[in-house]
């Protein structure tokens, strides 16, 4: 396995059932944003607030990618 295969594997995680996994990732992203807001508002966030926001953005980006994978899979099924 070369280095590009491992990166591609990370981006295709959950691609067997992409829509449900993408919905879970969106839920986790929303939860992380709410947690970030609560920590920031209470003054206890510190550096964790930024890290949680970055993690939420990563979850949203991966969910978007999974929705695109689902769309491509639907298109392949339609044309076959």
* More confident position, 20 or 76: 20
The answer, yes or no, to whether residue 1 has pLDDT greater than 60, is no
Residue 24 exposed, middle or buried by CB count within 10 Å (0-12, 13-18, 19+): middle
The answer, yes or no, to whether residue 80 has pLDDT greater than 60, is no
- The phi and psi torsions of 4 (rounded to 5 degrees) equal -75, -30
Q: How many domains are contained in the chain?
A: 1
**Helix 47-79 vs helix 18-42: crossing angle, to nearest 10:** 160
pLDDT tens figures, 19-56: 888 999 999 999 999 998 888 888 877 777 888 999 99
- Domain span holding position 46: 19-79
Going by C-beta distance under 8 Å and a sequence separation of 6 or more, which residues neighbour residue 26? 59, 60, 63
C-alpha to C-alpha distance for 7 and 73, rounded to whole angstroms: 20
Q: Do the domain assignments include residue 49?
A: yes
Q: What percent of the chain has pLDDT over 90?
A: 29
Q: Do the domain assignments include residue 4?
A: no
The answer, yes or no, to whether residue 15 has pLDDT greater than 70, is no
């Amino acid at each position: 396995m070369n280095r590009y295969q491992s990166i591609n594997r990370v981006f295709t995680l959950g691609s067997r059932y992409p829509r449900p996994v993408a919905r879970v990732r969106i839920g986790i992203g929303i939860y992380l944003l709410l947690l970030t807001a609560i920590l920031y508002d209470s003054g206890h966030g510190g550096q964790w607030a930024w890290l949680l926001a970055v993690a939420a953005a990563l979850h949203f980006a991966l969910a978007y990618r999974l929705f695109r994978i689902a769309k491509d899979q639907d298109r392949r099924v339609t044309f076959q």
